[in-house]
């Protein structure tokens, strides 16, 4: 199936099999990328992570045709002397490791800054020193707030795309004040991007930076108390899924007025594969990877998810499907937010000829079908248990 001979890159050159060191391979994005690499390419993967639950199905020995093409290394990159050796063994390193849950940004700002900046430093250093290519995963949060959000509420310029569409090579990165600790994540991510870029400029590091815009799909995040901590607060899609599974109202933070764009994980992984296999076109670039056609307010997302979940589960919606909460109540002190996140797609389209395909309705249907199949029974059991006094 993964026949290297007939595969060519965007310029018609044969694609040579490579070894990829994937840091954070056991996460949501990593698991989908490993699947894609093993089923559709001849490449080898050195999968590094602390957990491997989401890639267990890929590690079963002797049952699949890719045995020997994936090796799992249980590593915490914070303090592991094996890291440089594994980067040296590979042709390309992909760094996906991060704390990337908004609920942590202002409650665990130190962990957030260390995880996203300090812990990523050795990875960049080892790639640069050993002349290894790096694909570094950043975030759309590096853009912060749009220029338009500073205009008067009634300004017609708020409707002008040049005030809100986010462009990799032009848009500024605008964050809130220091006491708004929500920006600890975006700021750490921006600084590591600047460092990667500087390594490229000064020391010739071959790099690509990826800025994901809300990638959505099966295996995303966790359902609190089922496959994650009971007191945890995952990102918006898993939060809403959790409420739907438990037949609770969906909590809309500050009225759910923030606007977001959502992209299906399988579309996004296609873009990453193009970056992996077309280094001449991807090196030195920062890429937005999102779907500008799938824009909704968080309130609209909640309404759509309620409708889609009723369809896939066969259960009617509850009487009051949503409830408004303040950001202080939900996230704690120091929370702030981006108003809109719409990616400009010019650069990725020009360099890699890539466009996302899946509509918001279809990606929600696929994801919620998976969530319902995977979790509905477990949630029913958990919620029906008598509580010990």
Give the mean model confidence (pLDDT) for residues 209-235. 69
User: Residue 5 pLDDT > 70, yes or no?
Assistant: no
Which residue has better confidence, 220 or 187?
A: 187
Kindly list the distances between the CA atom of residue 132 and the CA atoms of 123, 135, 245, in Å, as whole numbers in the listed order. Answer: 10, 10, 44
**What's the rounded mean pLDDT across residues 221-241?**
60
Which residue stretches of the chain are H helix? 28-40, 56-59, 82-89, 102-105, 109-116, 121-129, 183-203, 236-245, 265-277, 279-282, 298-313, 327-331, 346-352, 360-384
Residue 245: closest CA among 84, 368, 78, 147:
368
Q: pLDDT grade, residue 215 (50/70/90)?
A: very high
The token pair at 324 is 């408004």
CA 254, CA 252: separation in Å to the nearest integer?
6
Separation between Cα atoms, residue 20 and residue 44, nearest integer Å: 6
Please name which of 57, 52, 64, 2 lies closest in space to residue 22, comparing C-alpha atoms. Answer: 52
The token pair that represents 386 in the structure block: 């008598």
User: Mean of the pLDDT values across residues 67-95?
Assistant: 93
**What are the distances in angstroms from CA 238 to CA 61, 75, 271, 324, 372?**
31, 26, 23, 17, 12
Distance of alpha carbon 322 from alpha carbon 371, whole angstroms: 19
How distant, in Å, are the alpha carbons of 75, 116, 118, 164 from that of 78?
9, 11, 9, 37
Angle, helix 236-245 to helix 298-313, in steps of 10 degrees: 40
Q: Which DSSP helix (H) or strand (E) runs through 46? A: strand 44-49
pLDDT attached to residue 252: 87
- The closest of 241, 219, 223 to 378, measured between CA atoms, is 223
- The reported pLDDT for the residue numbered 203 is 98
Q: How confident is the model at residue 4 (pLDDT cuts 50, 70, 90)?
A: very low
Average pLDDT over residues 233-248: 78
Q: Is 72's pLDDT higher than 70?
A: yes
Residue 10: pLDDT over 80: yes
Neighbours of 326 (CB within 10 A): 11
pLDDT at 387 over 70: no
Q: Are strands 285-289 and 250-253 parallel, antiparallel or unpaired?
A: unpaired
| Buried b or exposed e, range 37-64, using 16+ CB within 10 angstroms | bbeebbbbbbbbbeebebbeebeeeeee
pLDDT digits (tens, 9 = 90+) for 267-315: 999 999 999 999 999 999 999 999 999 999 889 999 999 999 999 988 8
User: What confidence category does residue 159 fall into, taking pLDDT thresholds of 50, 70 and 90?
Assistant: confident
**220 or 268: which leads in pLDDT:** 268
Let me know: does 185 contact 105? Beta carbons within 8 Å: yes
Lowest-confidence region among 89-98, 132-141, 197-206, 324-333: 324-333
- 149 pLDDT more than 60: yes
Which positions are catalytic? 185
Give 161's pLDDT tier (boundaries 50, 70, 90): confident
User: Under a CB-based contact definition with an 8 Å cutoff, are residues 217 and 266 in contact?
Assistant: yes
Per-residue pLDDT, 338: 54
Q: What is the mean pLDDT of residues 39-43?
A: 95
What is residue 170's DSSP assignment? T
| Residue 252: strand, helix, or coil | strand
Question: At 253, which helix (H) or strand (E)?
Answer: strand 250-253
């Amino acid at each position: 199936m993964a026949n290297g001979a007939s595969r060519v890159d965007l310029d018609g050159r044969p694609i040579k099999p490579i070894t990829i060191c994937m840091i954070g391979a056991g996460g949501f994005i990593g698991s989908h990328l490993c699947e894609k690499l093993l089923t559709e390419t001849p490449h080898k993967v050195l999968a590094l992570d602390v957990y491997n639950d989401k890639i267990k199905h890929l590690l079963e020995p002797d049952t699949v045709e890719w045995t020997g093409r994936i090796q799992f290394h249980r590593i915490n990159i914070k303090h592991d002397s094996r890291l440089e050796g594994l980067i040296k063994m590979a042709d390309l390193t992909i760094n996906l490791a991060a704390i990337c849950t908004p609920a942590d940004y202002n409650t665990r700002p130190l962990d957030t800054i260390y995880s996203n900046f300090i812990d990523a430093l050795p990875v960049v250093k080892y790639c640069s020193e050993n002349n290894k290519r790096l694909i570094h995963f950043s975030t759309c949060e590096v853009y912060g707030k749009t220029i338009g959000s500073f205009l008067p509420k009634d300004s017609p310029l708020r409707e002008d795309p040049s005030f809100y569409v986010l462009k990799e090579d032009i848009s500024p990165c605008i964050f809130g004040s220091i006491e708004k600790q929500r920006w600890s994540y975006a700021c750490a991510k921006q600084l590591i991007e600047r460092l990667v870029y500087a390594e490229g400029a000064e020391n010739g590091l071959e790099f690509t930076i990826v800025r994901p815009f809300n990638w959505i799909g099966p295996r995303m995040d966790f359902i609190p108390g089922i496959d994650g901590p009971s007191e945890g607060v995952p990102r918006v899609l898993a939060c809403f899924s959790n409420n739907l599974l438990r037949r609770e109202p969906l909590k809309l933070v500050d009225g759910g007025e923030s606007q977001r764009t959502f992209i299906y994980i399988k579309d996004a992984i296609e873009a990453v594969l193009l970056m992996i296999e077309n280094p001449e076109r991807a090196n030195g670039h920062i890429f937005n990877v999102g779907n500008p056609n799938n824009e909704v307010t968080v309130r609209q997302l909640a309404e759509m998810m309620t409708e889609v979940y009723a369809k896939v589960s066969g259960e009617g919606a509850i009487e009051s499907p949503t409830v408004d909460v303040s950001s202080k109540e939900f996230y704690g002190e120091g929370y702030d937010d981006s108003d809109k996140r719409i990616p400009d797609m010019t650069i990725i389209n020009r360099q890699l000829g890539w466009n996302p395909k899946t509509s918001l309705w279809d990606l929600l249907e696929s994801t919620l079908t998976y969530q319902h199949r995977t979790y509905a029974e477990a949630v029913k059991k958990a919620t029906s248990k008598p509580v010990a006094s």
